[in-house]
Amino acid sequence: MPKIKVKLESKIDSSYEISIEKGITAKIPAYLNKSKLGKKYAIITDSKVKGLYADAFARFLRKNDIDCEVFSFQHGEKSKTLETVEKLAEEMLNKNFDRNDAIIALGGGVTGDIAGFLASIYMRAIPYIQIPTTVLAMVDSSVGGKTAVDLKQGKNLIGTFTQPKAVFVDISYLKTLSPKQIKNGLAEVIKYGVIKDKELFNFIEQNIEQILKLDEKALNKIIAQSLKIKAEIVEEDEKEKGQRMILNYGHTYGHAIEKLTNYKLLHGYAISIGMILANKMATEKGLLKSEDAERIKKLIKNAGLPVVTMKKPSMNDLNSDKKRDGDYINFILATEIGKVTIKQIKCK
């Protein structure tokens, strides 16, 4: 029998820029007109951000001769489902969006995940950009190309790696963010300090009050440094085959805690508890000094984040985690502030 080879060596450059500037949203029309990502744009947002920003943003784009429509879903993690994606896709089809168009994700982490996933499968993939409106989305979920929705068995189990074409970080959006949501995002910033940057950790320790008060200088520093770390890790390991796994510090337990609370506990709050539980495991294994574990715990508490949970997830609760590898689960364990290691722990 003859053999026919299909040569598909990748020649795609998925590089993009993260622009961090207060008020940068005003420059987005110029970017869209120059890049010509789409003939028209679907602005994907949630029910809260729609009234706060999305409708006004759509009017602003139209004033700049950019054709767009706003599509929204119910605010909250419970909307991160295939059903929501299907509903949004049908609404886009009803408005005649095709493969020559593009998506704008305007919102927090849930919006970014849903919009990115929709972009990756709509008409077999259309471009999208990220405009994060929360600290969590700004420092973490808007960058790296992870898109996903949840299943009843666990979080982010259906998704793709699809990089955005650009990310615009505008801290002006944070003025309407609740203190609870500010703290929610800070958990991911603390994570970056523990896994990769002791100086960032020290800065958060020394400036936590200013950060919680939304001091612009302090915010710009922690957001920019967090994104620098994320970008470096993603460049090294885009599809999470190795080094990128360290970004999951606190997430193995954290995702299970979110599920146990039926997603009533915010992501950052669950990750904070997850970091504490991971540190406990690390100290028990002799990997992390108790002084460092206590220092991390103190910072998490000072940031107004929880350090205990009503019910610690069992290994059975962790079985559906994406980080599972056969009978083992990959845990990211701190060895000191600024360094972590990947350990496989048997889950059966």
Catalytically active residues, by annotation: 124, 146, 188, 230, 240, 244, 248, 251, 255, 267
HSE-up of residue 276 (Cα within 13 Å, Cβ side):
20
Handedness of CA 140, 22, 131, 261 (dihedral sign): positive
**DSSP line for 82-151:** HHHHHHHHHHHHHTT--TT-EEEEEESHHHHHHHHHHHHHGGG---EEEEE-SHHIIIIITSS-EEEEEE
Amino acid at 207: N
Asked whether the beta carbons of 150 and 157 are under 8 A apart, the reply is: yes
Asked whether the beta carbons of 296 and 234 are under 8 A apart, the reply is: no
The encoded tokens of residue 73 equal 């879903």
* CA 254 – CA 268 distance, rounded (Å): 8
* CA 49 – CA 74 distance, rounded (Å): 10
The encoded tokens of residue 258 equal 């979110």
Alpha helices in 166-266 (DSSP H): 179-196, 198-212, 216-236, 251-260
* CA 123 – CA 114 distance, rounded (Å): 16
